């Protein structure tokens, strides 16, 4: 195809062109979105209503729930409206806005998962210094730093797209304005795109993952020194839910973002994107509430009081 110099809108790839499937997809994604929003709001309500949960660990967890709601809201409502109206078009500025918000909340998700791992590391490996090391003031500063780095990463993507004068195509092989797909469509220098991808990947993925791996390496080393099996089980159980969320989010997100153009499959890419943009935020409240007795008991009290 000829390179396009003036693009007014992009076309998003849907999950199916079959008219009979549209109602099924609408019901599926609407229910997943509602479960995500309600589940995360319940988790935030549980943390805010119980004074015993006003600790750094639950502060980061409630922040993660807020980010998950915003993260899902950047992609799913547009997709649901597109299914209803049988329209897959999105304006140029709408696409840039969606990509920008997506990058902000995706990066914040990464940072918060790393901060939660750091919190567990200090609590298990240095319990006597926990109150000083992970103070309320420091937690707020770490959260603000996460917001700043997320905005920086988002603007990095926005600037490279805005500086581009042409696109190879207007078809985006995903159900939202995926940053990795937009970078593939640019006609600009390949070296520049690679640099942006890996600089952003370092901010978004490498350093948070490195922090998580280091934290859990220290945690495992400390837990194995605990003499009683009951103590080891209790220490590992506080980390299992967080590890499950990390594996779900990073396992699909990194493969999608760093996948090569040669091996990229649109259908597999959309399924992987669906996992970390919709499924993971939906499962997070269940992962953290079912494996956490404090949150489970608080939720039971809230629900019984409502009844």
Q: Is residue 236 part of a domain?
A: yes
Q: How far is CA 255 from CA 13, 165, 205, 246, in A?
A: 19, 28, 11, 14
User: Is the confidence at residue 1, as pLDDT, over 50?
Assistant: no
Task: Report how many domains make up the chain.
Answer: 1
* DSSP classification of residue 291: T
DSSP 95-131: HHHHHHHHHHHHHHHHHHHHHHHHHHHHHHH-GGGHH
Q: How far is CA 114 from CA 70, 226, 245, 288, in A?
A: 19, 24, 11, 16
Q: Is residue 2 part of a domain?
A: no
pTM, whole model, 2 decimals? 0.85
The overall average pLDDT reported for the chain is: 80
Q: Is residue 186 part of a domain?
A: yes
Q: pLDDT higher for 243 or 173? A: 173
End-to-end CA distance of the chain: 61
Helix 92-125 × helix 229-258 angle, to 10°:
160
User: Is the confidence at residue 176, as pLDDT, over 80?
Assistant: yes
Q: Is residue 4 part of a domain?
A: no
Residue 144: the pLDDT is 94
Condensed to tens digits (0 to 9), the pLDDT of residues 37-54 reads 999 998 898 888 888 888
Residue 189: the pLDDT is 60
Q: Is residue 299 part of a domain?
A: yes
The CATH number for 272's domain is 1.20.1070.10
Enumerate helices (H) and strands (E) in the chain, giving the number of each.
Answer: 13, 3
Q: Is residue 1 part of a domain?
A: no
* DSSP classification of residue 166: -
- Summarize the confidence of residues 72-77 as an average pLDDT: 92
**In whole angstroms, how large is the CA radius of gyration of the chain?**
21
Structure-block tokens of residue 128: 């006597």
Q: Which domain holds residue 215?
A: 9-306
């Amino acid at each position: 195809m000829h390179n396009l110099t003036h693009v007014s809108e992009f076309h998003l790839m849907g999950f199916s062109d079959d008219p009979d499937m549209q109602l099924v997809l609408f019901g599926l994604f609407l229910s997943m979105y509602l479960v995500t929003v309600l589940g995360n709001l319940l988790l935030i309500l549980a943390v805010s209503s119980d004074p015993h949960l006003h600790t750094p660990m639950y502060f980061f967890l409630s922040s993660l729930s807020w980010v998950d709601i915003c993260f899902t809201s950047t992609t799913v409502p547009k997709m649901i409206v597109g299914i209803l109206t049988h329209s897959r078009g999105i304006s140029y500025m709408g696409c840039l806005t969606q990509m920008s918000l997506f990058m902000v909340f995706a990066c914040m998700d990464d940072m918060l998962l790393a901060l939660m791992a750091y919190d567990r590391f200090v609590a298990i490996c240095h319990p006597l210094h926990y109150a000083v090391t992970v103070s309320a003031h420091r937690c707020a500063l770490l959260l603000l730093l996460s917001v700043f780095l997320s905005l920086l990463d988002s603007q990095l993507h926005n600037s490279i797209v805005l500086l581009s004068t042409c696109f190879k195509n207007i078809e985006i092989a995903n159900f939202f304005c995926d940053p990795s797909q937009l970078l593939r469509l640019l006609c600009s220098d390949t070296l520049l795109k690679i640099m942006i991808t890996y600089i952003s990947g370092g901010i978004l993925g490498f350093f948070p993952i490195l922090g998580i791996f280091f934290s859990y390496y220290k945690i495992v080393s400390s837990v194995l020194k605990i003499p009683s099996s009951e103590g080891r089980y209790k220490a590992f159980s506080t980390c299992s839910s967080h590890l499950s969320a990390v594996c779900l989010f990073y396992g699909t997100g990194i493969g999608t973002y760093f996948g090569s153009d040669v091996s990229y499959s649109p259908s597999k890419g959309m399924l992987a994107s669906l996992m970390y943009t919709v499924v993971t935020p939906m499962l997070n409240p269940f992962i953290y509430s079912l494996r956490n007795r404090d949150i489970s008991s608080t939720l039971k009290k809230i629900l019984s009081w409502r009844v």
